[in-house]
Structure 1
Amino acid sequence: MGPSEKEEEEQNVIVISDDDDGGDEEVENTQGSSVLCVELQDESHLEEKKPEEIVDEKEDLVVTYCKQANVMPHARYDCNVHPFERTECDTCSPLGTNNVICDQCYCYICDKPAAECQHWTTPSLCHCNAHNKSSFWKSQRNLALTGVLAMFNLELLDIDTELRHGGDLLEKFIRELSVAYNMYLIGEWISPPAQECFCVPKLPPGQCDSCRSQHMEVVHKYSGVFELVARFLNQAEQESPKAAAIMLLGAAKQIALHKDPALLRSCQNLGHTASLRIAVPFLFQRITTRLQRMLVLCDFPKTLYEKFIQFFQSISLPCHCHAFTNCLNVVPWDHMLLTTVLKGQNTTGQRRLKGRKMYLWEALPVVEARVEKLLDKKKYKEVVRYLRAVKCDDNQRLRDLRDMIPFYLCKTGDFMDATHSLLFPVNSLACCSACRITPCQFKVYLKIFRTGCVPSGNDIVETGPWVSAGTPLRSSVLIKQALKVLYSSKALCRNAKCWSSFIMVLGSSNFLEKRGHLLPLTLEEPPLAFQAKVLVASNSVLEDLKARVNVSLPPALFSAQLHHEASLILAVQAVQQMLCYDLFHLTSFLEIVLAFGKNFWALRMLLDQLSCEDHILCGTANLLLRDLNREKGTMLSVWQNLGPKYVGDFVCLFLTCRHQRMQSVGLFTLNIIIDNLPLCPWAQQLCTFFRDSGLKQLPLGTTVHHEVSKFITAFEKL
């Protein structure tokens, strides 16, 4: 490199001063500048002084190394090449040489190279005069950098990529909305129906242009604006939370400014999207509901959370939207009253503040969002406390949410509290949750109380994986609570599925299969004396439970070795009483029969109990025959899975009944098998079972003997 090139390259030296006070005049002159130029000595002198340090005693400054400065990008007011003149807010024309720039000068307002600034010397703007010592130019810079986000009172440090993206989409929407709104204000000219002509000469109605023009009217339809806003809201729901919040709040502000140009004209003839006074509240409902959920579900920074609420409160709402004035006053998660409720320190949701009562009252979307977030975090105890304490404007939906409290208690393993929550309402104005649970939910609850396991998800469903949650309820407690639930609801008590679930659960073990199914028990028939004792005790227990009297099951019968058998006997007695009162309300009896599984002694006991009253026994038999006729395919599949011994015991049970109507159930079963022999590969084994059991030799009556003999003979010939 030649000497001339070296001299040209080494012109400036950057010196960083550690004296911030600036005591003397020279330092004062350099304040506000990002670079300091020091004139170099000639090269020969530098070479002589190279091993030594250059010390400036006056400024306590040490220069240990010198190199040519690289001019970095800088604001125009920091340029060391061209002088800059400062004023507070001069925008008329460039001051001095402020419009002259070097290659690295940046516009302070636009934050881009000055050569690319479109308003560098524009009158009334003049970005070339901008500098960082003026509050006016600082506000202009913030406005330029934040764009439409400036109306949210956001600082530059608050704005990230998500917010800026939302602002860009909002700015584009505002431009499109302005066009659509202007078209709405212009309106459409609509010709009236055919009017009588009063001109001379008189023309037929509707053919006179003069008369028709006098009756034409302008109709303002908001439908185009509504569709544009609706599409924008759909787009907002697909964006990130911060961007969506900006878009929703901005849209709310824009449509709140819209006016109906025909205030005196009735809007009854227009649709809900064509009338501004109907469409705008509808859009506001959608916007505020979404924002309420976002304020609960999205973890916005506290300052941003508060600015969103402040922005909505600053919107001047029209009269038809006054109902939305305080809808975004959503208490944050760290609110004192909410916190004490979630921690269990406040069970009522009330507190006194300066002599005034405060209630934990929240809008329904807020309540739903809080429950959703707590469930996602598996905070079931907090969900229960919150739902018991909170108040809402939609009591019907709040009641539906509270109906899930027993299930959430089951998720915590508190099964006793769950049973109490099913039977006792949250407040005195509502009925208990047991009145509204479905038969499927009743079955799930029984399965939970029996096994101590719960569905892994947050819904009351039987399908899917189950996980252990606590210690199962004792059989005596399970029976009492299950019967209390059944007797508290006529809909449940008259549903065969509920009784079949009750019998099936009592006849199953406390353990679940890997797939979450109950393991049925095959119990030996207990002694007749034991059966008689349980039947006598069951009568009084069931009557007390119907009267909602708190009873205790006899420990000698229900806590002994035969407690499973005693439970089934009590269930038999309960079903027999139900049939005496509600037989004609039942839609099926077959599933109750199948619920006994292989415990045919308990089913025989039920049939013997029914034989005391002929009309009940005949009605039950008729219902069972109808079920068998309707469910032939299902029964063939069940019999295939359970095997010939089960089918043989099932048929023998009904054929050996003393009442002919019940015997017809066994005969009908045989006819189903005979008519579907190709689907019954186990029929030959069933024939062997009949022969070995001596069914043919029993005194069953002429008709039964004939059918059984025909069935056995048919297979002996094969």
Structure 2
Amino acid sequence: MGPPEREEKEQSIILISDDESEGTLGNSVLVVDPLDKTTLEEEKAEEVVDEECELVVTFCKQAKVMPHARYDCTTHPFERRECDTCSPLGTNAEICNQCYCYICDKLASECQNWTTPSLCHCNAHNKSKFWKDQRDFALAGVLVIFNFELTDIDSELRRGGSLLIEFIQELSVEYNKYLLGERIPPTLHQCFCLPKLPPGECNICRSRNLEVVYKYSGVFALVSRFLNQAETERPKAAAVMFLGAAKEIALHKDPALSWQNLGHTDSLKIAVPCLLQRITTHLQRMLVLCDFPKSLYDKFVSFFQSISLPCHCFGFSNSLNVVPWDHGLLTTVLKGQNITGQRTQKGRKIFLWETLPVIEARVEKLEDNMNYKEVVRYLRAVKCNDTKGLRNLRDKIPFYLCKTGDFMDATHSLLFPTNSLACCTACRITPLQFEVYLKMFRTGSVPSGKSMLDPGPWIPAGSPLKDSILIKQALRLLYSNISLYRNPKCWSSLIMILGSSNFLERSGHLHPLSLKEPPLDFQKGVLAVSGGLLEDLKAKVNVSLPSSIFTPHLHHEACLILAVQAIHQMLFCDLPYLNSFLEIALAFGNNFWALRLLLEHLSYEEHVLQGTVNLILRDLDRQKATMLKLWQNLGPQYVGEFLCLFLTCRHKRMQSIGLFALNIITENLHVCPWAKHLCNFFHNAGLRHLPLGPAAHTEVSKFINIFEKL
């Protein structure tokens, strides 16, 4: 970087010459004595001929002397030698007002080492390797240890270097404190030597008690603070700081004569590997995520490999041997040309094997670029020592496939493991994830964010699954995960999504369907084949649902009936594990015929009926305020249908649910402005005149009488 232009106080004439003989200064300039202003004006049009140089001057004007290094000064001669630093040579110390120091890259008048013995910057010039190295170190500072070219060093790297220099100085002070150690004050304790002596009289125990303890915690805290700061800096500066810190702590030695296990921060041989683990993990991510120029990338890696690691840190030797993005095996995997992640080279099998931080960084970058197909190919092929961490990343493969619109492959990825040694992803999904997956399969839309649980908008991704495939795969998911199977939230999600259209708003809001009750013969036909189908699905047998029940006009209804039968089977076997049932009943929405079908099935098993009724009554009692708010939103038509469904059941236990709900409304009429409309619904339905039984008839009449008196 050259010195900036400065105002010229003296004027001279510098003529550029083609003559490269030794007589010309700097091999490039010829100086003509300056003319005074009067002479210039008088001889303005006259020609000046220099016969020696065969140069014709037709016009002259006063020239500015540009900023220049001292060895190029036209005013004062310069004497060159390779590395003389003792004292100024010849007139090298003399300067004009535009002379710059070659080492400091600032005005010579401002250089503090211009004539300093053993430094003598006035003798520096660009023909000497010694002085060039001095200049590089002065300009690059501590960055010179990274072997950067001066053209590589920008403001970002300079900041990292300046912060590293400050850290090294502070670290030196703290490390010296560590080397001094702490002497434990003598205490009287029991002697365990043979023969035993009274406390304080055993020389062996006394010598042990006077042992010096070396605690590394102060150094550990300082390095940790520096690494915290590095994580907030820009990538190049952070890389310099991490690498510099690694080099410094790798030089630290434990002066203790014997092993002192004082804790993970106090013991050097525990603390240093801990710090190096943090440093290498962050650097691995940076090498993957940051678009460093190749020359810079290689120098970072080479610098780390040049660090002489102590024996307790040998495990980090190859930590930065990260496969670059343009590596042949990695490229073929990402493009789908290699699905196994292995190839044979010179008779040896080579695997795509990476550490978990590297894998996480690659997935993060591919996600940011929305390269979801490449993420899937990579995760299926890559191998890692951290099998649990890799499994957690692979659990997102079904979501990535949904993002590409391949919902069928997504269901297979949920249900079938990546390899024979792992269990399927379905074993680990949560009830909320189950609901989101069903919503994606039903609508063909996906969340726009990187996570399936992001609250952002939903966008179309592909064609939704057919209803026959959706219900089959949804039940397989429930049968594959016992925690989902026994969770009422999952069953309510299944019922709710089966009873909704495949249109989804950007907000992720589904549109419920109000399906007409299908013919009784159709219902019986679906129920007749559902038992065997469900058993086959539980046994993981590959079944296809008969086309006779999934007709083009009644496929929604067939799915609901099949789900009703699945819920009935679940209640028969796993009712004691349920903690709620009301949300399952509410999930049917306006499809009360399907809910009635479920309740009729329950009446055939007394213990199932009794347990289900108890669950619903408990839910109503605990969630009175919630139910009142929900009924306010749904309106009197829905509430009337819901109450009539239970009040008209032939089984007295089921009627108790309707009576309990009616009492909740009666006790809270002040927050139920729609109650009068509910009374009208009862009138129109002729509920008072139906044979409901004494208790139900009395409560219904009492409710209607309240509004007749108004």
TM-score over 0.5 (shorter chain) = yes
- C-alpha displacement at 1:56, in angstroms? 6.0
The answer to whether the Cα contact below 8 Å between 1:10 and 1:67 also exists between their aligned partners in 2 is no
Deviation at 1:54, TM superposition (A): 5.4
Report whether the alignment pairs 1:70 with 2:64.
yes
Q: Which amino acid aligns with 2:591?
A: N
Whether the 8 Å CA contact 1:11–1:39 is kept in 2: the answer is no
In the alignment, does 2:16 pair up with 1:16? yes
Cα distance in 1, alignment partners of residues 635 and 9 from structure 2: 101
1:314 corresponds to 2:276: no
Matching residue of 1:364:
356
Question: Which among 303, 306, 313 is matched to residue 295 of structure 2?
Answer: 303
Partner of 2:254: 260
Return the alpha-carbon distance in structure 1 between the equivalents of residues 399 and 46 of structure 2. Answer: 84
1:638 aligns with 2:617: no
What pairs with 1:70-109 in structure 2 (closer than 5 Å)? 70-109=64-103
Alignment of 1:20-419 (within 5 A): 22=20, 27-30=21-24, 32-33=26-27, 35-39=29-33, 51=45, 61-194=55-188, 216-264=210-258, 266-268=259-261, 270-419=262-411
What TM-score, normalized by structure 2, do the two folds share? 0.93
Q: Which residue of 1 aligns with 2:194?
A: none
Closer, same or farther in 2 for the Cα pair 1:276/1:545, shift >3 Å?
same
Q: Quickly say closer, same or farther: Cα 1:602–1:63, change in 2 above 3 A.
A: same
CA shift, 1:214, in A, is 10
Q: Provide the residue aligned with 2:450 in structure 1.
A: 458
Q: What's the secondary structure of 2:30's corresponding residue?
A: coil
Take 1:181 and 1:544, find their aligned partners in 2: how far apart are those partners? 69
In the alignment, residue 114 of structure 1 is paired with which amino acid?
A
Deviation at 1:252, TM superposition (A): 0.8
Matched, 1:662 2:654: yes
Aligned equivalents of 1:586 and 1:663: distance in 2? 21
Q: AA paired with 1:537?
A: V
Among 510, 527, 535, the residue aligned to 1:535: 527
Change in 2 beyond 3 A, CA 1:107/1:417: same
Shift of 1:152: 0.6
**Structure-to-structure mapping, 1:520-599, within 5 angstroms:** 520-599=512-591
What's the CA shift string for 1:595-645, capped at 9, x where partnerless?
A: 100111000111111222111111211111121111111111111111112
Q: Following the alignment from structure 1 to structure 2, what is the Cα–Cα distance between the partners of residues 536 and 9? A: 108
Is 1:689 matched with 2:687? no
Distance 1:694 1:16, change over 3 A: same
Contact 2:445 2:458 (8 Å CA) reproduced: yes
Give the 3-state SS of the residue equivalent to 2:15 in structure 1: coil
User: Structure 1 129/10 Cα, relative in aligned 2: closer, same or farther at 3 Å?
Assistant: closer
Instruction: Give the alignment's TM-score, normalised by structure 1.
Output: 0.92
Deviation at 1:675, TM superposition (A): 2.1
Aligned partners of 1:212 and 1:349: how far apart in 2?
62
Task: Say whether the 8 Å CA contact 2:17–2:30 is kept in structure 1.
Answer: no
Question: Deviation of residue 115 (structure 1)?
Answer: 2.0
Match in the other structure for 1:201: none
Count of residues in Structure 1 that have an aligned counterpart in Structure 2? 694
Task: Supply the distance in 1 between the matched residues of 2:17 and 2:473 (Cα, whole angstroms).
Answer: 83
* 1:513-539 deviation per Cα after TM superposition (whole angstroms, max 9, x unaligned): 353211001111111111111111222
Deviations 1:378-411 (A, max 9, x none): 1111111111111122111111111001111111
Q: Which residues of 2 match residues 641-652 of structure 1 at below 5 A? A: 641-652=633-644
Report the CA distance between 1:243 and its aligned residue.
0.8
Name the SS of the counterpart of 1:341 in structure 2.
Answer: helix
In 1, the alpha carbon distance for the partners of 2:273 and 2:609 equals: 62
Alpha-carbon separation, structure 2, partners of 1:372 and 1:263? 46
Aligned residue for 1:511, secondary structure, equals strand
Q: Where does 1:668-683 land on structure 2 (aligned, <5 Å)?
A: 668-683=660-675
Q: Which amino acid aligns with 1:14?
A: I
Mapped contact 1:687–1:715 kept (Cα < 8 A): yes
Cα shift at 1:30 = 2.4
Instruction: Give the C-alpha shift of residue 32 in structure 1.
Output: 3.2
The code of the aligned residue for 2:296 comes to L
Deviation at 1:464, TM superposition (A): 3.0
Q: Deviations over 1:278-320 (max 9, x none)?
A: 1111111111111111111111111111101111111111112
Q: Secondary structure at the match of 1:601?
A: helix
What per-residue deviation string (whole Å, max 9, x for no partner) do you get for residues 2-44 of structure 1? xxxxxx999742122346xx3xxxx233263564212478999
Paired position in structure 2 for 1:698: 690
Aligned amino acid, residue 575 of structure 1:
I
Letter in 2 for 1:626: R
Paired position in structure 1 for 2:195 = none
Task: Check 1:573–1:57 CA distance in 2 against 1; reply closer, same or farther (3 A cut).
Answer: farther
Letter aligned with residue 245 of structure 2 = A
Amino acid aligned to 2:256? A
Does the residue aligned with 2:291 lie in a helix, a strand or coil? coil
**Match of residue 5 from structure 1:** none
Conserved? CA contact 2:45–2:59, under 8 Å: no
More displaced stretch, 146-155 vs 72-81: 72-81
| Counterpart amino acid of residue 432 in structure 1 | C
Aligned to 1:513: 505
Q: 2:18–2:28: 8 Å Cα contact kept in structure 1?
A: no
Distance 1:686 1:43 in 2: 110
1:45-74: CA deviations, max 9, x gaps?
988975576566775645443222322221
The change in CA–CA distance for 1:555 and 1:195 in structure 2 (over 3 A counts) is closer
Distance 1:407 1:287 in 2: 32
- In structure 1, stretches of 5+ residues that fail to align are 1-7, 198-203
Amino acid at match of 1:230: S
Moved more, 218-227 or 447-456: 218-227
Distance 1:61 1:572, change over 3 A: farther
Q: Which moved more, 1:482-491 or 1:47-56?
A: 47-56
Q: Which stretch shows the higher mean deviation, 439-448 or 461-470? A: 461-470
- State the AA in 2 paired with 1:217: E
Q: Which residue of 2 aligns with 1:608?
A: 600
The Cα of 1:226 is off from its aligned counterpart by: 1.2
- What are the within-5 Å matches in structure 2 for residues 466-481 of structure 1? 466-481=458-473
Q: How far 1:91 moved relative to its partner?
A: 2.0
Tell me if the contact between 2:200 and 2:206 (Cα under 8 Å) persists in the aligned partners: yes
Deviation digits for residues 92-115 of structure 1, max 9, x if unmatched?
222222222222211111111222
Instruction: Work out the CA distance in 1 between the residues paired with 2:672 and 2:442.
Output: 35
Q: CA distance change for structure 1 residues 30 and 673 in 2, over 3 Å: closer, same or farther?
A: same
Larger CA deviation: 227-236 vs 42-51: 42-51
Secondary structure of the equivalent of 2:22? helix
Shift of 1:225: 1.1
Percent identity between the two aligned chains? 71
8 Å CA contact 1:34, 1:78 repeated in 2: no
Change (3 A) 1:33 1:79: farther
Q: Say which SS state the counterpart of residue 306 (structure 1) adopts.
A: helix
CA deviation vs aligned residue, 1:362-386 (integer Å, no higher than 9, x gap):
1111111111111111111111111
User: In the superposition, relative to structure 1, how do residues 548 and 64 fare at CA in structure 2: closer, same or farther (>3 Å)?
Assistant: farther
